[in-house]
Chain A
Amino acid sequence: MSGFRLADGGRVDRRTKRSFTFDGKAQWGYAGDSLASALLAQGQMLFGRSFKYHRPRGILGAGVEEPNALVTVDRGPGRVTPNLRAPSVPIYDGLHATSQNRFPSLKTDLLAVNNVFSAFFPAGFYNKTFMWPRGAWEKVYEPIIRRLAGLGDSPKTRDPDHYDATYAHCETLIVGAGPAGVAAALDAAAGGGRVILIDEQEEIGGGALSDPAQWGWLAEASAKLAAAGNVTVLSRTTAIGHYHQNFVVAAERLTDHLSLAEAEGPREKLWRIRAGEVVLAMGAIERPLVFEGNDVPGVMLASAARTFALRYGVAVGRKLVVMAVHDSGWRDALALQEAGVNIAAIVDLRRDIDPALAEAARAARIGCYTGYAVTKVTGRQAVTGVKIALDGVAKEQSLECDAVLMAGGWTPTVHLWSHAKGTLRWDEAWGAYLPDKSHENLRCVGACAVAWDFGSGLAIGALPAAKPLHESKAFVDFQNDVKARDIGLAVQEGFRSIEHIKRYTTNGMATDQGKTSNLNGLQIASDVLAKPVTEIGLTTFRPPYTPQSFGAMLGHHKEALFQPLRKTGIDDWAERKGAVYENVAQWRRARYFPLIGEDMDAAVARECLGVRSAVGIFDASTLGKIEVVGPDAAEFLNRMYTNPWKSLEPGRCRYGLLLGEHGFIIDDGVSARLAPDRFHLTTTTGGAARVLGMMEDYLQTEWSDLDVWLTSTTEQWAVIALQGPKAREVIAPLMEGIDLSAEAFPHMAVREGHICGVETRLFRVSFTGELGFEVNVPAQHGRMVWEAIWAEGQKHGVVPYGTETMHVLRAEKGFIIVGQDTDGTVTPDDAGLGWAVGKKKPDFVGKRSLARPDIVATGRKQLVGLLTDDPQAVLEEGAQIVADPNQPVPMTMIGHVTSSYHSATLGRSIAMALVAGGRDRMGETLHVPMPGGVISAKVVAPMFYDAEGSRLNG
């Protein structure tokens, strides 16, 4: 116990107490406290255990740079969040926080045995061992390592919270609301444009929050910003990253600072902001110093101790020693002493100290050890004192203390600048990379532009020490347990680029992403390699600036809103009939309509027989539809599709086959010519958007001389298919203005008229081999017309059928489904559709590719039918076909089954397959080796029913 609450001071509300728990123990703090400040005030110094060696760790920083004090916050079922940084967790009544990565408790962590054996786990140790016996890595070593690794526990149940997202636009976006950011916001606001000011902390003010002298100014400025009509101030909002063209993404935390009772609405909100100008006022982060024992709980950044004292009214110890190489350490020490925190001594490696600072320290009765360095911190779970030595190497002397403050200089926060590909330049005096040039309208102000007076200091990584580097236990990356000696080892082992050193040692790869460790690592590598920092490189800053929840990224895009589910106007009719659905592209389609007790096979068999014997009704509304209009419409289609279109008479339909320019089938569909200049095209359900996009491409960019308009009409038309010998009888009473007789209205014709009083485009087409009609009506009337047809159909035994039955019926006729019987590598000839290729046409999309050597070669896979020797054996779709089933693995496969069903109509199984040289194998027996045995089948033409087509012409 060393920290305590100061008698006065700070911005916490001392009239309002908050109670919470830490590791199950009741604790309290004031409103405005962070978890770190409240616990420090209670004397808690131990906050966590390190990742690898399980060393006891305390607080290092007072903000997002904190690497050690990671906690899990539990807000009830599904609301568990691991790895939160204690200084950034505001307390509220009922907060339950627990420490992580320890067993069984923070104080007594049995895994700290790792620390005893740390000599065996240097950087990269895992590359050197765990290789024997072979196979033991994933069975023995890796599971142990995985259990030891990780930080907190992942959430394990569904998160009841939801997340919001928005877009915002402004003339000026300011990131960071410290004094420089606030000043920039006031400036920009005066210009009249829209201003957004964002800051990650609980309230705006940044560094000014730790400086009571600025509170008056801050209050005035806040009031001005609040009063300005053109300024949006977002606190508790972290700018995650800068993306192309001043697109900045930020995440706002809306409820995590509130008790569960107070929390209402979304938990977080994602802001996607496009700004004319971005002003970065992200400040700077103080650097720790690297010396023996710098990770003992109670060793922290001087700026952090200042923040705890002046912002939260908490002393981090009763007797403090400051280890500085920078003036800011002296200033912080003086401010702390004045606030009532006992500073026992300032140790500074420099001999030349600003006389004013030295004088002030003496006046404050602070012991000054100039030219000295801390060589060791004593204590295990808490600081008991330090050893110091002149230049770090002379005889050691001891100082008693219970906390050590480090002032190692400042690193400007250039993360977003770097995200924007702004260049950086090395500054020797700052010992840091500073913003240089950017091609964006982006600038830095305040400390991150080094326009802030922290004083001056040395830029060094490690303090000088008598001990050789390879024996020292001085830490660079606290969370990942990277010591200075690990960086030395990496260099010794030949890793010279900073990226290599980073990856080999894991320096800077922890959840703080190197905010306090990167530059110290770089300096140490530079010293070991005896090369300037600039020759070693710099690791890349990547978004996000601090870790952000997945929830905020996905916003509303979950469950039903993850992706729209498209439903036809008839969909809920099917639902009421108990349809089982399948998803096809973005649509859901009724797959079959089981009666009570029926499985899919039984339902499909019944539906098939119903269509073949009477009539079936099918919702085909998902078919893609494109209206092609204009004087050159026929010419355009003639160039797009493989078959001729110019000769098609109005009132007639044609099957169209569409290739990519590579010559492979990509879509098909039956289309109708309604008038000389008007076509009604259909595409596959999944292909509609792609086909339209492709047609627009050719129309606009290759054949812009053609006078044609393309309009997507997929959702304008409901399509009701009536298929079966009684189809005509069912629709006849409902139809007006169309002569349905076979003579007047033959197969593959189209007529316009009315059904149930609404306009219709009636196609006489068949995808089943039966007499069939497709009734197109405006989508809003689809349900009404469907119900009318359904009612009429009752007299004729109509059955509703789904996609599965449709698949069986068309397979019986050998009609292909693009995407099932073709797979993007199939040409028209392969699919047996050579007849659909206009031989006399000079050109169409894909024609030239059909003449390429491999496409005209023999032995290509061709679509054939298969009849199994055992008529009841149904091949599995996707099963592979061989000529010789007794050959050893790997076998020579000559094809695969594309479609396979039990045909109730035929009382046996049928299949379609792509088989090498298939059409020359008619009558041959081929084999399908399955895990349970080989199935033999005979190659036949892919036509199993009514080959002469008498039924569909009926």
Chain B
Amino acid sequence: MKRFSGFNLIGEAFRSHQGWPEHWPDKAPKASYDAIIVGAGGHGLGAAYYLAKKYGITNVAVIEKGWLGGGNTGRNTTIIRSNYLYDESAHLYDHAVKLWDGLSQELNYNIMYSKRGVLMLAHNVHDVQSFKRHIHANRLNGVDNEWLTAEECQAYCPPLDISPNARHPVLGGALQRRGGTARHDSVAWGYARAAAALGVDIIQNCAVTGIRRGADGAIEGVETERGFIASKRVGVSAAGSTSLVMKMAGLDFPLESYPLQALVSEPVKPIFPCVVMSNTVHAYMSQSDKGELVIGAGTDQYTSYSQRGAFHIVEHTLAAICEIFPIFTRMRMLRTWGGIVDVTPDRSPVLGKTPVKGLYVNCGWGTGGFKATPGAGDLLAYTMAHDEPHKINAPYNLDRFRNGRLIDEAAAAAVAH
């Protein structure tokens, strides 16, 4: 792996950049591996990287039905934060945020993690109570999250309208300063490059067609478009397609896949310094380094794998954005797109072992998986290496749907009374 640095960049400039090697070689599958990851998104590539880097398992393949980073990794609005309420969630997401910090240096790849701050707006008394609860819990968990008054919110994000006569007036906000954004594609590419350098095979255009289990029920490997690949450890990190892969192993999963849309505006000079989220108005937005306003829209109400959503979702989203940021009505929408998000009944992920020996799963991240990328990768790798979950992901088991020990952040935000 040729090291990336400003120095090498200048050096290469003098020979027209002809010396840069491939980020990752395009590998054909070997007959067997010590571990296979199904799904080359940020999570799966991260898992492969950490298996090789931290847990000493380098004979690893990541197999991907399309091109790496082409699923939700490359389609999300890149928000990073960890100010979740429950201990389980705060520990999970903060594990990721700690890994985000310094990830560029670790991977020798600028993934552009930018701590621009994530500001969540409170619009009614109930929001205020709920956010204060988060802030207090975060403080005692060592997760930064602070309360801002409406005026402080506007000072932090000048385009914000805080007029008390607004339909949903801003009463204040919860700010996580370590929250922010990163460059989604770079995350996938950075992990892929670093994993490949450690010996991981990245195999694209290789859809899984079956999961082979032995007489004892344990995993023996995966059938793919390019033949059978043996391994006693298979980790599935396939987002919206997870339930399809699990079905191949004979497992029914508590998952449903929904379309989620997002959109960007045309690029403009810097106008929007942070990430703002409003659950009450249903809007969230940031501005990319390129200058586009990056806007998350909602999910459609029905399950679908079509990677496209309905237009009225876009209408509602932009109405919500302009309700909070009225100066943007003349900005122009450049591109909308859709992804498929896999959602569990409590909207928290499943990350750990499955009833099938040697089969591990990382799924159910819903609309919030990007922020967890390094953490999910690391914890999936840990679980596969030890055949036991790490204490951080232990609560994210499948048993919770049987015993009722749900981790329901959305329910905790509750509803207005």
Contact = CB atoms under 8 A, between A and B. Distances in A.
User: Do A's and B's CB atoms come within 8 Å in the complex?
Assistant: yes
B319 A877 contact: no
A120 B102 contact: no
Interface in B109-161: 109-116, 123-126, 129-137, 139-142
A163 B412 CA distance: 38
A560 interface: yes
B326 A819 contact: no
A163 B319 CA distance: 12
A154 B287 CA distance: 12
B168 A583 contact: yes
Contacts of B316: 557
Interface string B313-344: 01110111111001111111111110000000
Nearest to B328: A550
B315 A557 contact: yes
B402 interface: yes
Contacts of B111: 127
Contacts of B306: 421
Given A241-B311, A554-B329, A929-B140, A820 B266 contact: no
B414 A823 contact: yes
A154 B115 contact: no
A304 interface: no
A466 B135 CA distance: 64
Contacts of A591: 125
A11 to B, nearest CB: 28
Contacts of A584: 124-126, 416-417
Nearest to A556: B319
Specify which of B113, B331, B404 lies most central, judged by the most chain A CB atoms within 10 Å of its CB.
Answer: B404
Nearest to A84: B332
A513 B334 contact: yes
B23 interface: yes
A129 B6 CA distance: 5
A563 B167 contact: yes
A554 B417 contact: no
Contact of B130 (A80, A146, A852, A878): A878
A127 B269 contact: no
A153 B211 CA distance: 53
Contact of B129 (A550, A558, A877): A877
B408 interface: yes
A663 B321 CA distance: 36
Contact of A550 (B4, B123, B265, B291): B265
Contacts of B322: 550-551, 554, 558
Interface string A473-493: 000000000000100010011
A819 B126 contact: yes
Interface string B159-198: 0000000111100000000001001011001100000000
Contacts of A684: 417
B102 A855 contact: no
A880 B5 contact: no
A83 interface: yes
B67 interface: yes
Contacts of A819: 126, 414-417
B269 A147 contact: yes
Contact of A142 (B5, B20, B114, B417): B114
A247 B414 CA distance: 35
B74 interface: yes
A214 interface: no
Given A150-B270, A499-B67, A557-B319, A127 B290 contact: no
Interface in B7-41: 8-10, 13-14, 16-18, 20-26
B368 interface: no
Given A820-B126, A853-B404, A878-B129, A562 B289 contact: no
Contacts, number: 354
Interface in B261-280: 265-272
A421 B305 CA distance: 13
A876 interface: yes
Interface string A547-582: 111110111011110110100000000000000001
Specify which of A485, A493, A822 lies most central, judged by the most chain B CB atoms within 10 Å of its CB.
Answer: A493
Nearest to A585: B416
A825 interface: yes
A553 B333 contact: yes
A494 B404 contact: no
Using C-beta atoms within 8 Å of the partner chain, give the interface range for chain B: 35 or more
Nearest to B205: A497
Given A83-B266, A119-B13, A122-B17, A157 B327 contact: yes
Nearest to A119: B13
B26 A550 contact: no
A205 to B, nearest CB: 25
Contacts of A80: 330
Given A825-B408, A825-B412, A882-B140, A686 B417 contact: yes
A890 interface: yes
Given A130-B6, A553-B319, A562-B167, A496 B408 contact: no
A933 interface: no
A131 B111 CA distance: 9
A737 interface: no
Nearest to A500: B67
Interface string A121-137: 01001111111101001
A864 B270 CA distance: 50
A551 B330 contact: yes
B22 A492 contact: yes
B328 A493 contact: no
Contacts of A551: 322, 329-330
Interface in B87-110: 87, 91, 102, 104-105, 108-110
A145 interface: yes
A151 B415 CA distance: 41
Contacts of A494: 21-26
Contacts of A24: none
A244 interface: yes
A820 B142 contact: no
Interface in A101-150: 119-120, 122, 125-132, 134, 137-138, 142-143, 145-147, 149-150
A274 B402 CA distance: 45
Interface in B210-254: none
Given A130-B110, A825-B408, A878-B130, A558 B330 contact: no
Specify which of A554, A690, A854, A896 lies most central, judged by the most chain B CB atoms within 10 Å of its CB.
Answer: A554
A82 B270 CA distance: 13
A503 B337 CA distance: 15
A543 B136 CA distance: 43
A128 B5 contact: yes
Contacts of B414: 819-820, 822-824
B368 to A, nearest CB: 18
Contacts of B287: 146
A837 interface: no
A81 interface: yes
Given A824-B411, A825-B412, A126 B112 contact: yes
Contacts of B131: 878
A7 interface: no
Given A126-B112, A130-B110, A823-B413, 6 more contacts: A151-B269, A154-B269, A550-B328, A562-B167, A583-B124, A822-B414
Top 5 nearest A-B pairs (CB, nearest first) are: A824-B411, A878-B133, A150-B291, A494-B22, A819-B417
Interface of A: 51, 79-83, 119-120, 122, 125-132, 134, 137-138, 142-143, 145-147, 149-159, 161, 163, 241, 243-244, 247, 249, 270, 272, 419, 421, 470-471, 485, 489, 492-497, 499-500, 503-504, 511, 513, 537, 540, 542-544, 547-551, 553-555, 557-560, 562-563, 565, 582-585, 591, 662-664, 684-687, 690, 817-820, 822-825, 849, 852-855, 876-880, 882, 889-891, 893, 896, 929-931
18 contacts: A128-B8, A129-B6, A131-B4, A138-B113, A149-B267, A150-B291, A154-B328, A155-B328, A241-B311, A497-B70, A500-B69, A543-B335, A547-B332, A553-B333, A825-B411, A849-B404, A880-B139, A891-B140
